Structure 1
Amino acid sequence: MGEIAELLVSPAAWAALITLVVMEVVLGIDNLVFVSILSNKLPEAQRKKARRIGIGLALVMRLVLLSTLAFIVGLVQPVLTLPFPVPTDAQGHPVVDLAFSWRDLILLAGGLFLVWKATTEIHHTVDPVGGDDLLDKRTVKPVSFSSAIIQIILLDLVFSIDSILTAVGMTEHLPIMVVAVVIAVGLMLVAANPLAEFINNNPSVVMLALGFLLMIGAMLIADAFGVHVPKGYIYAAMAFSALVEGLNMAARRGARKKGGGGH
């Protein structure tokens, strides 16, 4: 209790909390977009329940991981090294890292899953009736509730580990980490339904969100190989794309009001 009392009157602790909440919210956007897209594949009566369960599991997973900080920190130690020559740049610096930790392997698996999932969903969006003879007709069936929850849990694990490692790198105080995670996930829960409904009601936004997931998957794969792409670049690109799409939507609404239709 003494530590908590000291943190309550510490300006540095409050600054760390606010910064960490912002970081956790930004990192949670990826998770929220995935949950929104996947839950929209379910029957309408099950969508809100799937979002609540998915985001609730994200909170539980983050709190469990916070309680095992020593284990989480150990995830960054190399456990597998590929026996291949490491490519280098003109200055002789390694371009990629072929020594993988458990964190790297989890990020690699999550990145590959996101790339596969986004590519599959883009294919279904472009060709919803499965006109391509090579397309497996079974893949166009609606996703089941249990399948959606399992996929959400798998991605929750990937995003939770990344989130907790970020928290560990920003502060050493466990109470600050716990409060920041709870606030961030609470904001995700509030935003989940409006975001999912907005994505569902705007088909062009669905394609944009899938493109975001594809980019995030590629970033996770690159991170697993030691190629660290600054997240600010990724989120700046996402924000710019969202702004352009917002302008397109406003233009289409204006055209419809004038009776000229929209394209």
Structure 2
Amino acid sequence: MNFDFSVFSSPQTWVSLLTLTFMEIVLGIDNIIFISIVVNRLPQEQQARGRSIGLLLALLCRIGLLLSISWIVGLKAALFTLNLPWLDEPFGVSGRDLILLAGGLFLIGKSTTEIHTKLQGGEEEEHASKGGATMQSIILQIIVIDIVFSFDSILTAVGLVDNVLIMILAVILSMGVMLAFSGVVADFVNRNPTIKMLALSFLIMIGVMLVMEAFHKEIEKGYIYFAMFFSLIVETLNMRLRKKTPPVQLRESQYD
């Protein structure tokens, strides 16, 4: 594959690079949240290393897929068709549909399990689950979800620019930013249980969105990210209010 470096003499190229980098950072937020929550099962001294490995794997996955754009485009072709009685026409199932379906179900199952663990498990059970998690199992989960999240990233890149070199540079820059702030995001999520529960709920919503896309039901991603941003703002205000508001004191009964 030949790269044309002369495109960087055009101001339009730099505008496209900055725009795509910003979009990659926005689309990578859910990836950071997932990695932060999964890596939290590792011992404290291994968590930073696990996050770094996870984001570097995400970078490699996205660059590899960008270099295989023709293969990704081929994944949109139907592998087989299903004649379902409630549909007016045959439903074509592509390789992309199968990947999105598997990734969405994995994300829903994993997030639901994490919520159940947080609600039902005590500190000893959580400590035991951390001790039972290995770096290899965590990395495997990160690889699976990185591949799924990379599809959104790549399809967005293809829609904005048509130069693979710009796409790769945007992915590298966005991953550098996310790698620099991943520890801050992880500490904030893990330090605030309500934020962590909100993040897991968002991951379930994203999993449902992936499943819907696998069935060719497109959901405008702007609505999803707006809901995430709005909920985060409301929860941040609630956190500040809880710090300022003294605990409620019950009145003593006049008959005591």
Length-normalised TM-score, structure 1: 0.87
Question: 1:45 matched to which residue of 2?
Answer: 45
State yes or no: 1:187 paired with 2:173: no
Question: 2:107 matched to which residue of 1?
Answer: 114
Question: 1:125 matched to which residue of 2?
Answer: 118
Q: What is the CA distance between 1:171 and its match in structure 2?
A: 1.2
- Distance, in Å, in 2 between the alignment partners of 1:196 and 1:114 is 18
Q: What is the CA distance between 1:86 and its match in structure 2?
A: 4.5
| Residues 213-252 of structure 1: pairs in structure 2 closer than 5 A | 213-252=203-242
State yes or no: 1:261 paired with 2:250: no
The answer to whether the 8 A contact 1:86-1:98 is kept is no
State yes or no: 1:3 paired with 2:12: no
Question: 2:160 matched to which residue of 1?
Answer: 170
The answer to whether the 8 A contact 2:3-2:165 is kept is no
- Distance, in Å, in 2 between the alignment partners of 1:53 and 1:86 is 45
Q: What is the CA distance between 1:178 and its match in structure 2?
A: 0.8
User: CA 1:2 to 1:183, structure 2 compared with 1: closer, same or farther past 3 Å?
Assistant: closer
State yes or no: 1:209 paired with 2:195: no
CA RMSD of the aligned region, Å?
2.1
Stretches of structure 1 lacking an aligned partner (at least 5 in a row):
89-93, 131-136
| Residues 141-180 of structure 1: pairs in structure 2 closer than 5 A | 141-142=129-130, 143-180=133-170
Secondary structure at the counterpart of residue 216 of structure 2: coil
Secondary structure at the counterpart of residue 141 of structure 1: helix
**CA distances 1:103-144 after superposition (whole Å, capped 9, x unpaired):** 1110110000011011111111111149xxxxxx99x73332
**CA distances 1:171-223 after superposition (whole Å, capped 9, x unpaired):** 11111111111111111111110000111111111100000100000000001
Question: 1:105 matched to which residue of 2?
Answer: 98
User: CA 1:83 to 1:129, structure 2 compared with 1: closer, same or farther past 3 Å?
Assistant: farther
- Distance, in Å, in 1 between the alignment partners of 2:139 and 2:11 is 40
Q: What is the CA distance between 1:78 and its match in structure 2?
A: 1.1
Question: 2:188 matched to which residue of 1?
Answer: 198
Give 4+ residue runs of structure 1 displaced > 6 Å after superposition. Answer: none
The answer to whether the 8 A contact 1:73-1:165 is kept is no
- Distance, in Å, in 2 between the alignment partners of 1:45 and 1:253 is 30
Q: What is the CA distance between 1:160 and its match in structure 2?
A: 1.3
Question: 1:15 matched to which residue of 2?
Answer: 15
- Distance, in Å, in 1 between the alignment partners of 2:3 and 2:209 is 41
Name the amino acid aligned to 1:159: F
Greater CA drift, 183-192 or 140-149: 140-149
The answer to whether the 8 A contact 1:72-1:165 is kept is no
The answer to whether the 8 A contact 1:21-1:180 is kept is yes
Question: 1:134 matched to which residue of 2?
Answer: none
Q: What is the CA distance between 1:11 and its match in structure 2?
A: 2.4
User: CA 1:13 to 1:43, structure 2 compared with 1: closer, same or farther past 3 Å?
Assistant: same
- Distance, in Å, in 2 between the alignment partners of 1:166 and 1:76 is 15
